[in-house]
Structure formats: structure tokens, C-alpha cells
Amino acid sequence: MITLLKQSQGPLLVFEVSLKLSARDYEEHFAPALAQAITDHAKARLVIVFRKDFTGWDPGAIWDDARFGTHHHSDFERLAVVGDPRWIQWSTNIASALHRGEVRSFAPGTEEAAIAWAHET
């Protein structure tokens, strides 16, 4: 499950991910919001907050993310990943390979610091 949080504004999108991320979540919520931010602002800034109850991605979501990331590899300025070290390591490795922008990881409970960093110019 993925939720776009109210801290999102302009090119900055803040998502909270819990339980399992499905291809449907990705296709109906995540990708359209990112595509719109890129269309409106040329580049997007992204914060992904993995909640403690996050259990992973289904294969379709992984495929969709890889496809979107390779198509938009230069459209991200900053990506902050917040959460459990096991998800952070995996996510930042994938993001660093797929995106040209800066990627930084943040410990659980540091969402505000991640948002501040992603918002900096």
C-alpha cells in the first residue's frame, strides 16, 4: 500500500509505504504522481518512507519501478529513503543504479530531516 502524504508540494513528493507494494499501487498512485510532477516541474524530488509493517514488493511492482526508473533516469534531483535498514539498503542500491540524482538514506523516525534534505536547493 502506498499513500501520497500532505507534505508533498510542487516537485517534492512524499510517499508512505506499508504492508506490501503491489503493481496496482504503483500503477494507480505512485507512477501517475511522479509523472505529473516531472511534467509540471521538469524534475522531481522524492521521499519514500517505509513503515515498520512494510513486507516488500510484488514482482509486478518491482518491474514497473525498474521500467519507470530507466525511462526517467535523469528526471529526479533527489531521492530520500526512510526506514528499516534492510529496505533502505535494497532501495538505495536500486535507486542509485536507476537514477542520476542524489540518493540518501535516513533512519526510521527521521522523516522531517529527509523531507528537509529533499526540499533543499
Model pLDDT for residues 90-105, shown as the tens digit of each residue: 666 665 555 678 888 8
Of 41, 47, 50, the closest CA to residue 102 belongs to 47
pLDDT of res. 96: 57
Q: Which three cell numbers stand for residue 104?
A: 540518501
Residues with Cβ within 8 Å of 62's Cβ and at least 6 positions away in sequence, in order, are: none
Model pLDDT for residues 31-58, shown as the tens digit of each residue: 899 899 999 999 999 999 999 998 887 8
Residue 88 pLDDT exceeds 80: no
- d(CA 114, CA 102) in angstroms, rounded, equals 12
Residue 82 pLDDT exceeds 70: yes
- The pTM of the full predicted model, rounded to 2 decimals, is 0.84
Q: Which three cell numbers stand for residue 26?
A: 504503483
pLDDT of res. 62: 60
CATH of the structural domain 2-119, one choice from 2.60.40, 1.10.8, 3.30.420, 3.40.50: 3.40.50
